[in-house]
Structure 1
Amino acid sequence: MTVSAQVPAPSQPVAAASPRPRWSEMSGLARREAIEGYLFLLPNIVAFFVFLAGPMLAAVYFAFTNYDLTWPPRFTFLENFQVMFTNDLFWQVFGQTFYWAFGMVPATIVLALGLALMINREMRGVLTYRLVYFIPHVTLSVAASIVWLWVYHPDVGFLNLLLGYVGIDGPQWLLNRRTAMPSLILMGWWKSVGFAMLIFLAGLQGIPAELYEAAVMDGANPRQRFWSITVPMLSPAIFFVMVTSIIGAFQGFDVFYLMTRGGPANVTTTMVLHIYNNGFLYLKMGFASAMAMVLFATIMIFTLGQWVYARNWVHGFAD
């Protein structure tokens, strides 16, 4: 028998929300509280326009000029973009940025999900494991770079010492064109997995245990439970990590600047490092601003593409 619940009608009509009083209608106390609220917001508003909105608008303007930090900018329309798109080094750097991003993000997601599944259980020392995996993420890039420069050192580096024990002569990891970028990607995994693991762990702990219990009663094996329950229920966390990781990867700078300065032969130069070099080393601020606009457009295209495609696989996204 189906029982339908009926909500009783209210005995009195609900009063409509009163409109916000005008400034002239406010009492002295209300005006003082409003002023205090605006004053608390003022530092953040000023900081937003000075450090974010202002530089972004300036970069858009400089992208169409020949500004070089020494002389007033002169409008050149699309000349910077024409030079950029006919420059071989730009396309090399653009491709290397994709190499870095897509070498980083998929593996980071897989490794982080695997670690989250491993430590999402009741076992001895689980808190220690979580801390150990998360520490690299909060380690300063300078400190991490110093450690990994030692790991990759061709003579006294930890990695080549290990290879030497098994009779393998290790290469000069950061000075070899073939191994420089993969070496930095390996360091990137080490540094970024902890954050993604923490997000996945929070998502796993939010999945109702009743779903797994019902699946076990229906005879589902672990693989079926993973693909039918874990992945769909964890898809919002996967989507968040994917979007933020791709944006962060396209903006990669500190590791390349600290460890290789873009070498050898520009094989580890990414877009942001190339923008920095042109803007502050070669003083071609207009050209650097044009590249920044291209990078911004690239990130926006990927982000919007993921957002549109998310409706097909992210649980609850359409809601």
Structure 2
Amino acid sequence: MQKGRRKWGLIFIIPQLIGLVIFAIIPLGMSFGISFNEWDGIASEMKFVGLQNYIGQVMDSDFRKSLLNTLIYSLLFIPIDLILALALALAVQKIKGKNIYRLFYFMPVVTGSVSVGVIWTWIMNGDFGLLNTALASIGIDGPKWLTDPKMVLISIVIVSVWWNVGYNMVLLLAGLQNIPEVYYEAAQIDGANKLNSFRHITVPMLSPTLFFVLIMTIISSFQVFDQAFVMSKGGPMKASYTLVYHIYQNAFVDFKMGRACASSVILFVIILTITLIQMYGSKRWVYYEQ
């Protein structure tokens, strides 16, 4: 019986495994190999340069600028997105018609990133955009959202939160619904208020879901590209020039595949390091029911 289940289990995971190997593992290995070479993506032969691409990227002011922009974006996006997603999940947890609210908040997630970027570029236009028009109607002079170097990254964060918060909200709402109601009833009998119940019941019981959401949000924040590409082209003055945009620029504009792959490997190492640190730290705050 166990052998039969194991066989069917392997059969069902083979398509996913094949996709993982073809579209993830093989490209990752190829990127690592290309990163030690100088190649324009067209020539039949590569020129081995060792660590020169990595050293060049570390010394490149554009790379350092893109890394700084990505860090700033992540530090803004991650807490805002998580806090708002948790607040929305708590708000719709016990109200009637929560499936409608869940559908409403999840709709932006399934919208194409290019479509989202184009629509929000029009909304945030500093001269005739819908957002500034609305602000002007109440006497507020709106900023140049996408052409001011001080505002463009904040604008992209706003769009990213609008686009992604529904996904995290649905995950957190599912986690909240799996918390047994009897815990809250027992806490209420013992005289605990809502704040104490949230701190000592909701947060610990929801910690596995929070941990997953946190990891996925951090990974997506370091891979931000679509919004910066569609809405601002990395500008103005490279104020929204992100790390993935830098990789795109090297690979498909300058045709310096070796440098682009070196940047990709550095990004992979950064994300892997952060994920491993989180997994190690999760042992102290993530609750796993025995």
Normalised TM-score (structure 2): 0.92
Measured against aligned partners, the alpha-carbon deviations of 1:117-141 in whole angstroms (never above 9, x if no partner) come to 1101133x43322211111111111
Q: Looking at CA atoms only, which structure, 1 or 2, has the larger radius of gyration?
A: 1
Question: Secondary structure, in 3 states, of the residue corresponding to 1:283?
Answer: coil
Could you list the runs of 5+ residues in structure 2 that have no partner in the other structure?
none
What residue in structure 1 maps to residue 47 of structure 2?
74
Match of residue 188 from structure 1: 160
How far apart, in 1, do the equivalents of 2:125 and 2:273 lie? Answer: 38
Q: What is the aligned partner in structure 1 of residue 143 from structure 2? A: 171
Residue pairs, 1:1-319, within 5 angstroms: 47-71=19-43, 72-123=45-96, 125-316=97-288
Paired residue type of 2:222: F
Any idea what SS the aligned residue of 2:38 has?
Answer: coil
Between the aligned residues of both structures, percent identity stands at 37
- Normalising by structure 1, we get a TM-score of 0.84
Measure the CA separation in 2 of the matches of 1:48 and 1:202.
Answer: 27
Higher RCO (CA-CA < 8 Å; seq separation 6+): 2
Change (3 A) 1:203 1:48: closer
Secondary structure, in 3 states, of the residue corresponding to 1:121? coil
- Aligned amino acid, residue 256 of structure 2: K
Moved over 3 A (4+): 40-50
Aligned to 1:8: none
2-side partners of 1:270 and 1:296: how far apart?
15
Unaligned runs of 5+ in 1: 1-16, 21-33
Could you say what the CA RMSD is over the residues aligned between the two structures, in angstroms?
Answer: 2.0
Residue pair 2:34, 2:258 contacting (<8 A) in 1 also: yes
Cα deviation 1:7-52 (Å, max 9, x = unaligned):
xxxxxxxxxx99x8xxxxxxxxxxxxx9xx87x8776665444432
Q: In structure 2, do the counterparts of structure 1 residues 157 and 294 end up closer, same or farther at CA, with 3 Å as the change threshold?
A: same
Contact conserved, 2:62 with 2:246, CA < 8 A, in 1? Answer: no
Q: Size of the alignment, in residue pairs?
A: 284
User: What is the CA–CA distance in structure 2 between the aligned matches of 1:137 and 1:41, rounded to whole Å?
Assistant: 26
> Deviations along 1:249-295, whole A, 9 cap, x unmatched?
11111111111111111111111111011011100000111011100
Q: Is the 8 A contact 2:35 2:258 kept in 1?
A: yes
Distance 1:219 1:47 in 2: 53
